[in-house]
Structure 1
Amino acid sequence: MPQSKHRAFLKWAGGKYSLIEKINKELPKAKVLVEPFVGAGSVFLNSEYEAYHLNDINEDLINLYKILQTDSTHFIAEAEHYFTPQFNQEAVFYQQRERFNGSTDPFERSVLFLYLNRHGYNGLCRYNLSGKFNVPFGRYKAPYFPKKELQFFAQKAARATFTCLPFQQVMLQSPDDSVIYCDPPYAPVSETAYFTAYSKQGFGLDSQEELAQLALHASDKLGRFVLVSNHDTAFTRRIYKPAKLRKLSVSRFISQKGDSRKKVAELLAVYRPKA
């Protein structure tokens, strides 16, 4: 574990910054850390492995990471241009969101992805069924430009391989000397709380069950250590029954009203390979 914690440069629903110590305590030593759902990368940024395989189904996210890996100086200079009062206006935000949705250029989309993430409501990443980013304006006084966080990510990305593949493929093709950490879109705490629009593909209950089955397979058949994060519900306790479960209490900050941002119960499901 690094001596100082590093924040992700993206605002991220369900980010693992506050749980880093507890997650790292569970993760064993290995050559490679495999993350099929890397998200904003807090575990990557705050762990020490020789190499990383970082995957996500969100193509915009992975393209941004690849550009930072290979062209960080240019990217940071271009992105900083958008963190001025001129661009922190509602009409301008929606103009840039429309520009993002109409662009096919990976560099332009990556710069605008960071802008939309920091200026949009609560740092949400949400797409409609047509694949259009649809998060509204966030109305922040002065959105923070995460220059030092971008620079640290770019520096550490030299150890990483980034892919945009189905999680099943990533887990099944994990190398021998690796551990797997899964932070999927969370199962709903209630029937009205399901959020599946992180990518066009969504992540329903069938996907949750498939991930749990694959975690057990990777542990029992492939000899991998697998750690999975999720909400603590009757459903997740059922699908993770073969694993060792560790209960956590975590503050979440996605609710609109501050007084309703309560602690929620989460689980770490630990799958240890058979000796």
Structure 2
Amino acid sequence: MHTPVLRYHGGKYRLSKWLYEFFPKHKTYVEPFGGAASVLLRKERSHGEVYNDLDQDIFNLFNVLRDKYSSSRLIELCHLTPYSRDEFKLAYEFTDEPIERARRTIVRSAMGFGSGAASGHITGFRCEASRKYNTSAHCWAKYPPVLKYVHARLQGVNIENRPAIDCITKHDAIDTLHYVDPPYLFETRTLNNRSGIYRHEMDTNEHERLLSTLTSLDGFVVLSGYNNDLYNDCLTGWRREEKQSRISAGSGTGLRTECVWINEQCSEALKEKGSISMRHTSQGAYITHHIRTESTENKIKSEIERMSLNGDKITKTSIAKSVGLSREQITRRYSHLFEELHSA
């Protein structure tokens, strides 16, 4: 995946490889503050995976992307959507139709300045036609394949829309890994981002309640944030790691020091068994194979439909010749399409 599915405030696309260093081997993976799901989408699959976000627009987007028909329609609509100021303005108008709502969420994210537009934050329109390298419109044209990847990766993921603490406690177990990335404490943010970035912010009392929950869990916990006294005081005995990271800051970028707090169970597991391997090659190969197979199936279905309308005799040999495959490949991988034809 060459770009995140959303330009989202606090997204961890750039930091994901670093974060995986602190992920021990586990059975169940939980992201209670899912956001753009950049960490989930790039990691190797776990036996059980849970994505959760309280924002209805973001939850709706991932629900649409998981479904085969809805994601195909969304990809088609994004392909047909011009990169334009009018589309960007329209994207701020509410609709309760799930696929169109998902499209508007994506349009706001892709065409707006900064990283808050996906969650409804009002921004200006990005129009960078004179850039030396890829313009925003170039990036938009390359976007639909990203959605295909996300659809394939979301298969088998449990997508929830509930309070984060409820999600955490529901799925906690000794072999569960919770990657917790809440809205950061207001006092640790830059002045321009102190409020209004997320639809569901957290005050200090809510952070204290979250920390109390995290310290009582049986599972592994990796918690993201900027360095602060509240976390350090509450998380006695937890390991803290730091890394400088480039963040979105208006129309440019800035550097901040990101922190992760790692609970004792997680630290011990990392010492004993090491962190998960990313296995990008095998994971990427699986996704690429899934997309290519789906594309070939669509070609075969179209050719069957064309020959049927023309009254031509439909055989595996004739279809193989039309789509550029051998009859053996058709028989081995796509026989089910002909079974569907005979049962129709």
TM-score, reference length from structure 2 = 0.67
Specify the structure having the higher radius of gyration (Cα). 2
Q: How far does residue 92 in structure 1 lie from its aligned partner after superposition? A: 4.6
* Higher share in helix: 2
Which residue of structure 1 aligns with residue 149 of structure 2? Answer: 152
On the 8 A contact 2:50/2:158 being kept in 1, the answer is yes
Q: Deviations over 1:231-275 (max 9, x none)?
A: 12334333433421112211112244x4xx332112100013398
TM-score, reference length from structure 1 = 0.83
> Partners of 2:59 and 2:2 in 1: how far apart?
19
Taking only aligned residues, the RMSD between alpha carbons, in angstroms, comes to: 2.3
Q: How far does residue 6 in structure 1 lie from its aligned partner after superposition? A: 5.0
Q: Which runs of 5+ in 1 are unaligned?
A: none
On the 8 A contact 1:122/1:138 being kept in 2, the answer is no
On the 8 A contact 1:58/1:198 being kept in 2, the answer is no
Count of residue correspondences: 253
On the 8 A contact 1:216/1:242 being kept in 2, the answer is no
Residue 16 of structure 1 aligns with an amino acid whose one-letter code is K
Q: For residues 199 and 193 of structure 1, do their structure 2 counterparts lie closer, same or farther at Cα, with a shift above 3 Å needed?
A: closer
Which residue of structure 1 aligns with residue 115 of structure 2? Answer: 123
Which residue of structure 2 aligns with residue 14 of structure 1? Answer: 10
Which residue of structure 2 aligns with residue 105 of structure 1? Answer: 97
Residue 170 of structure 2 aligns with an amino acid whose one-letter code is Q
Q: For residues 239 and 139 of structure 1, do their structure 2 counterparts lie closer, same or farther at Cα, with a shift above 3 Å needed?
A: farther
**Aligned equivalent of 1:240, options 235, 248, 269:** 235
Q: For residues 238 and 140 of structure 1, do their structure 2 counterparts lie closer, same or farther at Cα, with a shift above 3 Å needed?
A: farther
**Aligned equivalent of 1:138, options 126, 131, 134:** 126
Q: How far does residue 119 in structure 1 lie from its aligned partner after superposition? A: 0.8
> Partners of 2:128 and 2:121 in 1: how far apart?
19
**Aligned equivalent of 1:262, options 233, 249, 254:** 254
On the 8 A contact 2:121/2:196 being kept in 1, the answer is no
Q: How far does residue 77 in structure 1 lie from its aligned partner after superposition? A: 0.2
Note if 1:31 corresponds to 2:27: yes
On the 8 A contact 2:114/2:249 being kept in 1, the answer is yes
Other structure's SS at 1:17 match = coil
Which residue of structure 1 aligns with residue 47 of structure 2? Answer: 50
Residue 97 of structure 1 aligns with an amino acid whose one-letter code is A
Residue 54 of structure 2 aligns with an amino acid whose one-letter code is I
Which residue of structure 2 aligns with residue 74 of structure 1? Answer: 73
